Amino acid sequence: MVFLAEVSSENLPSEAGAADERELTRPFAAPIAAAVAALDDPRPRNAYLLIALQWLALNHERLPEILGRAR
């Protein structure tokens, strides 16, 4: 399952994850155009990422509407 959420990247941590699951993630911020351009990158990736980026490519202009705020 993939979710869409609006968040602030002002205080983006260098590491995150569920400590009790011994999960380590390294969050990062990227402009939408760069994220969509990553679809052309041949480096390994997973299905969740591909689905999310393809959805973003198709819907990025509608994000304010989808997130329920006026332009």
DSSP 18-67: -GGGT--B------HHHHHHGGG--S---HHHHHHHHHHHHHGGGHHHHT
SS3 23: coil
Neighbours of 36 (CB within 10 A): 16
**pLDDT tens digits for 21-60?**
888 899 999 999 999 999 998 887 789 989 999 999 999 9
The residue with greater pLDDT, 69 or 12, is 12
> 18: pLDDT confidence band, cut at 50, 70 and 90?
confident
Tell me which residue has tokens 């041949």.
42
The structure tokens listed for 51 are: 């689905």
> Whole-structure pTM over 0.85, yes or no?
no
